[in-house]
């Protein structure tokens, strides 16, 4: 589908979810996601990949690496895509 595409993972914020820098991600473009999905989101003009979480009716982004902190934004959180699969080449 034209809403599905590949992108390369950057950074270390999702290593505990098994997503490493350089992995290929199969993502589906959507502006709707459920809490617990791994999403590609725009926050303050920066694209990031994190778990989408909800607490007290508010959404925030949670990394899968204890060295990173959650992203709680006062601005609008724009979901661009949901990660559907990870492809790693050895």
In DSSP notation, 10-33 reads: -SSTTGGGT--TT-EEEEEE-S--
Q: Are 27 and 87 in contact (CB under 8 A)?
A: no
Catalytic residue chosen out of the listed positions 10, 32, 35, 50: 50
Catalytic residue chosen out of the listed positions 13, 32, 66, 84: 13
Annotation says 89 is catalytic = no
Annotation says 13 is catalytic = yes
Which residues carry out catalysis?
Answer: 13, 50
């Amino acid at each position: 589908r034209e809403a599905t595409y590949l992108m390369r993972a950057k950074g270390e914020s999702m290593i505990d979810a098994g997503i490493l820098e350089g992995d290929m991600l199969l993502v589906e473009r959507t502006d709707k996601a459920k809490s617990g999905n791994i999403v590609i989101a725009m926050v303050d003009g920066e694209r990031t990949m994190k778990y989408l979480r909800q607490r007290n009716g508010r959404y925030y982004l949670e990394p899968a690496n204890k060295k990173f902190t959650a992203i709680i934004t006062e601005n609008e959180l724009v979901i661009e895509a949901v990660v559907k699969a990870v492809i790693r080449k050895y």
